[in-house]
Amino acid sequence: MTEILAIYPGSFDPITNGHLDLIERGSQLFNHLTVSVLTNLEKEPLFTVQERVEMLQQATAGMRNVSIDTFSGLLVNYALQKKARVILRGIRAFTDYEYELQMALMNRKLEPSLETVFLMPAESYTYVSSRLVKEIFQHGGSVKGLVPPLVEERLHSKVFPKNV
């Protein structure tokens, strides 16, 4: 059987435990999983691409068949260039479904040879998002258990640089 390479694309600003849970699940399903950070975000990110890549690399250091990469432009073009067969995305709750379905179908229209595979993170992460993590942290709330400890440290030095 041919090996299956899957791409898990996203902003990862920053990686959360929900992302990490999905990466672990994906790494057990596919021969290789490439987690790819979109470099040309429409929204202003908190972390630079380099910082996001470093956090992903550190958080996935123990996973043998996972690598970290970046991409720009159309996801389908990047996936073809990498010879990937699968795009991996997470669905946390019903609210994610409409956006994810639209993207998956559009990507299929652009490139029918690619399949989007959806996985659900553990229930305990269904309410975790990078956006909420940043918001909570910026207002002094605790994000313990929502992101890996290394991300918590990075959030500290990014958001409260004088306290480090």
Instruction: Return the residue nearest ligand PNS (CB atom).
Output: 10
Q: How far is the CB of 29 from ligand PNS (least distance, A)?
A: 19
Q: Which is nearer to ligand PNS, 20 or 75 (CB)?
A: 75
Element containing residue 102 per DSSP (H, E): helix 94-110
Q: Exposure pattern of 62-78 as b/e (b: 16+ CB <10 Å)?
A: ebeebebeebeeebbeb
Site for ligand PNS in 85-144 (CB under 6 A): 103, 106-107
Q: Which is nearer to ligand PNS, 10 or 26 (CB)?
A: 10
Q: Which sequence positions are flagged as catalytic? A: 19, 43, 92, 130
Q: Which is nearer to ligand PNS, 63 or 103 (CB)?
A: 103
Element containing residue 68 per DSSP (H, E): strand 66-71
What gap in Å lies between CA 93 and CA 112, rounded to an integer?
A: 26
